[in-house]
Amino acid sequence: MMTILEITVERWPIAGTFTISRGSKTEAAVVLCTLRDGLYTGRGECVPYARYGESLDSVCAEIEKLRDALAAGATREDLHGLIGEGAARNAVDCALWDLEAKRSGKRVADIIGLPPLKTLTTAVTVSFGDAETMAASARAMADRPVIKVKVGGEDDEERIFAVAEAAPKSRIILDANEGWTDANIVRHMLAAAKAGIVLIEQPLPAGKDAILSTIPHPVPICADESAHGTDDLHNLLGRYDSINIKLDKTGGLTEALRMQKRARDLDFGIMVGCMVGTSLAMAPAVLVAQDADFVDLDGPLILKEDRSPGLVFAGSLVSPPEPQLWG
């Protein structure tokens, strides 16, 4: 049965502005991969990320290269020999999972062999800004169990203490997005420890993080930009305590599951995160997040509106996807 590929670029406005240390954005630009066989349809969504050399055009071109292979029946396992990790493979891999589920009449979770899926508690995000503005945002979220705070400035101590004071009952994660330096990391980490921060995500630039193996970790450190796929994990030993698994980095659910298993074997903690996208991008990640220490899948909450149907959020709780959405 021939599989027909469709590639669509979509733009989803953000509610306000989403800011990290590298810049701001007002929309989520995503690529939708749709696979049709005449009876069933599978979908996958990815978010191209300029930090990794991706653009809408480059990702669409990478997916387009797979058209003939998909028509000839290429499988998820075949993708690893046809295309590298990253957003393009993620969209196709997740669409193939969805198509397999629709054809078989089984949920993806059942195909994988997962226990019944549970509702998860996701972090919600405070954008980067001045300390006063960030504290106000944190105060508005102070009833949320987990808050992820974007930092990455030269002098973040004021931001750290301001948000911690504004949300004293929340577990707070700091995400520096590679914005700290060898000169300020110890100072920032000591401030984070004093403020009761529970995790620090990617404090230093990927490839320039050797100091992490020689300085104390008063707060556990999580690799994000340094951790793409399973092959990266061995090099992170001794530098990081946890890893952030994102399907747009791993190149799909298939590799994310491999990475998750290997990370547990190596005693890494696990966060499952996301780019800013719709519920279709989050849905496969919910399966990986069933065995995560931290869940950061609030992408749809940052948008003005989400897909319909989408994931069901109740405060910080996110329910497993329904088949009409994915899987």
Q: Which domains does the chain have, with CATH numbers?
A: 4-105 (3.30.390.10), 120-318 (3.20.20.120)
Distance CA 143, CA 140 (A): 8
Whether the pLDDT of residue 135 is over 90: the answer is yes
Catalytic residue among 150, 169, 249, 261: 150
pLDDT at 292 over 80: yes
Mean pLDDT of 10-19: 90
Per-chain mean pLDDT for the chain: 97
Mean pLDDT in residue range 223-241: 97
Looking at the predicted structure, is the pLDDT value of residue 21 above 80? Answer: no
Give tens-digit pLDDT for 44-81. Answer: 999 999 999 999 999 999 999 999 999 999 999 999 99
Task: Let me know if 304 is a catalytic residue.
Answer: no
CA distance readout (Å), 283 to 124, 167, 289: 17, 28, 10
In this prediction, residue 320 carries a pLDDT of 98
- What pLDDT is attached to residue 16? 82
Contact between residue 3 and residue 71 where contact means Cβ atoms under 8 Å apart: yes
Phi-psi region of 207 (alpha: psi -120 to 50; beta: other; left: phi over 0): left
Instruction: Give the mean model confidence (pLDDT) for residues 80-108.
Output: 97
Q: Which residues pair with 20 in a beta bridge?
A: 23
State the pLDDT at residue 35. Answer: 98
Q: Provide the pLDDT confidence category of residue 276 given band limits of 50, 70 and 90.
A: very high
Q: Catalytic site residue 261?
A: no
* Structure confidence at residue 112 (pLDDT): 97
Catalytic residue among 65, 246, 249, 261: 246
pLDDT value at position 23?
79
pTM, entire model: 0.96
